[in-house]
Amino acid sequence: MTSRRQFLVRGAAASVAAFTPNVLLAAIQKHTPPAPDLSSWNSVRAQFDLAPDWIHLSTFFISSHPKPVRDAIAAYRKAIDANPYLEVDRRWFSEPPNNLQFKVRGDLAQYLGGKPDEIALTNSTTQGLGLVYNGLPLEPGDEVLTTAHDHYAQHESIRFACEKSKARSRRIVLYEDPARATADDMVRRLHEALRPETRVLGLTWVHSCTGVRIPVRAIADMLAEANRTRGEAERVRMVLDGAHALGAVDDAVAAVGCDFLCAGTHKWMFGPRGTGIVWARAAEWARLRPTIPTFASFPAWDAWMEGKPPIQPVTAFDHSPGGFHAFEHEWAIGAAFQFHQQMGRARVAARIAELNERCKRSLAALPKVRVITPLDPKLSAGIVCFEVTGVSADDVGKKLVARKIVAGASPYLPSYPRYSPGVMNTAEEVDTAVAAVGEIARA
């Protein structure tokens, strides 16, 4: 029986032998400029095509594409527009190194600290969470433990999964006052909340509601100890929303101790809009039931072609949603991760910490302003939440926009104004943004 790969190679070679994968890849590379010099923060800032008369402090929402990412998207789009069938067909289904699904995973693995076959490609954090929770082998009576601080996408993904499986979910509070949160207390509360029926712990690495960064490694160590007396089927798995940590903290995802990490790449990673990842070890992928048919697994496709049962075990490729995507965006994810590799993860994290420390300390010194996010850099990352006495979060946001400062209000109750200084910002911009809050507080 002809496999998917054999079918493609024979059919394409017979009709369009001149358009080899290497020729097409060379055409793409021809339209991709060399990597820029990123040795200074001014040169990094110059890569972003942001409106220069605005101060942009909203990376918590969506990011501007830096030039290498824009160039990669444009190059792939140009190649697809010139020869859509050949470019997509060959790049999607050919063997490595010409298969761009495999190449992208290789680029990501270097940054994540894992392996290419541990990564599923998605379109967002939300899609990743939905795929993971829907695929977990939950049973009636099982429990998913989460917190009151997690995002709508995590809570709803848990709800859908529990309704389907007849499992239960429960939320706990990790801190009453985020500004006074401590790592030890958060770990203690989670440990005390575990029950014999707890099977999943759903957490968010950096809370977009408060800016609190939870101690993931310490929580993972606590879970490992709790799991020591549990059988494999009863072990508590950690599902981590990493949307506001990936690209903002100096931690390799594969080393923090979670079982699954879901993140969009269009925030702090500056990846193409509509792209995301899920990372997990091979053994964890094998436990999940796929939700959406994949086009990324040759064994799955070949088994279908031959009328055979799906090949086991299930892998990350089986969990990457198939269908036709915005390929120029999906393939350009690698350019964003290469951009970060060139800047240096530790250097980026230090710069974000420096600017956010400046922001928090300066805001805290203002009358009628209270900083919600912990001042401790180990318990925060790139988001600074605050409140202005007597002024609602929405009104603060409107007054800042009137001053050409892009911030935003967190979509939670209570809602707080928030800034997110990043590598595209300067210290002077942070000072101007803080001074604007002072003017609002005094008005």
The pLDDT value recorded for residue 9 is 41
Amino acid type, 348: V
Tokens of 1: 């029986």
Confidence of residue 297 (pLDDT cuts 50, 70, 90): confident
Residues 6+ apart with CB under 8 A from 168: 141, 142, 143, 144, 162, 197
The pLDDT value recorded for residue 1 is 32
pLDDT at 7 over 50: no
Q: How confident is the model over 165-195, as pLDDT tens digits?
A: 999 999 999 999 999 999 999 999 999 999 9
The pLDDT value recorded for residue 25 is 56
Q: What percent of the chain has pLDDT over 70?
A: 93
In the three-class reduction of DSSP (H, G, I as helix; E, B as strand; rest coil), residue 266 is classed as coil
Q: What percent of the chain has pLDDT over 90?
A: 84
Q: How confident is the model over 327-380, as pLDDT tens digits?
A: 999 999 999 999 999 999 999 999 999 999 999 999 999 999 999 999 999 999
pLDDT at 100 over 60: yes
Phi, psi (deg, nearest 5) at residue 54: -120, 155
CA distances from 401 to 56, 209, 397, 406 (A): 10, 20, 6, 6
CA distances from 328 to 52, 143, 404 (A): 27, 40, 32
DSSP 351-386: HHHHHHHHHHHHHHTSTTEEE-S-SSGGGB-S-EEE
The pLDDT value recorded for residue 32 is 63
The pLDDT value recorded for residue 30 is 59
Confidence of residue 99 (pLDDT cuts 50, 70, 90): confident
Higher pLDDT, 268 or 6: 268
pLDDT at 13 over 50: no
pLDDT at 5 over 60: no
The pLDDT value recorded for residue 16 is 36
Q: For residue 159, give the nearest of 140, 144, 142 by alpha carbon.
A: 144
pLDDT at 22 over 60: no
pLDDT at 81 over 50: yes
The pLDDT value recorded for residue 85 is 92
CB 1 within 8 A of CB 305: yes
pLDDT at 258 over 60: yes
DSSP 288-338: SPP-S--SS-HHHHHHHHTT-PPPSS--GGGGS--S---HHHHHTHHHHHH
Residues 6+ apart with CB under 8 A from 9: 94
pLDDT at 300 over 90: no
214 vs 204: CA distance, rounded Å = 8
Confidence of residue 31 (pLDDT cuts 50, 70, 90): low
Confidence of residue 26 (pLDDT cuts 50, 70, 90): low
The pLDDT value recorded for residue 379 is 98
The pLDDT value recorded for residue 189 is 98
Give the other-Cβ count within 10 Å of 354's Cβ.
Answer: 14
Domains, the chain, ranges and CATH?
116-342 (3.40.640.10), 344-442 (3.90.1150.10)
Higher pLDDT, 397 or 93: 397
Residues 6+ apart with CB under 8 A from 55: 404, 405, 406, 425, 429, 432, 433
The pLDDT value recorded for residue 19 is 37
Tokens of 30: 């021809």
Higher pLDDT, 94 or 75: 75
Q: In what order do the strands lie in the sheet with 237-241?
A: 119-122, 276-280, 260-264, 237-241, 198-204, 143-147, 168-172
**Which range among 30-34, 40-44, 118-122, 225-229 shows the weakest confidence by mean pLDDT?**
30-34
Confidence of residue 96 (pLDDT cuts 50, 70, 90): confident
The pLDDT value recorded for residue 14 is 34
Q: How confident is the model over 133-157, as pLDDT tens digits?
A: 999 999 999 999 999 999 999 999 9
pLDDT at 23 over 70: no
Query: Whole-structure pTM over 0.85, yes or no?
Result: yes
201 vs 74: CA distance, rounded Å = 40
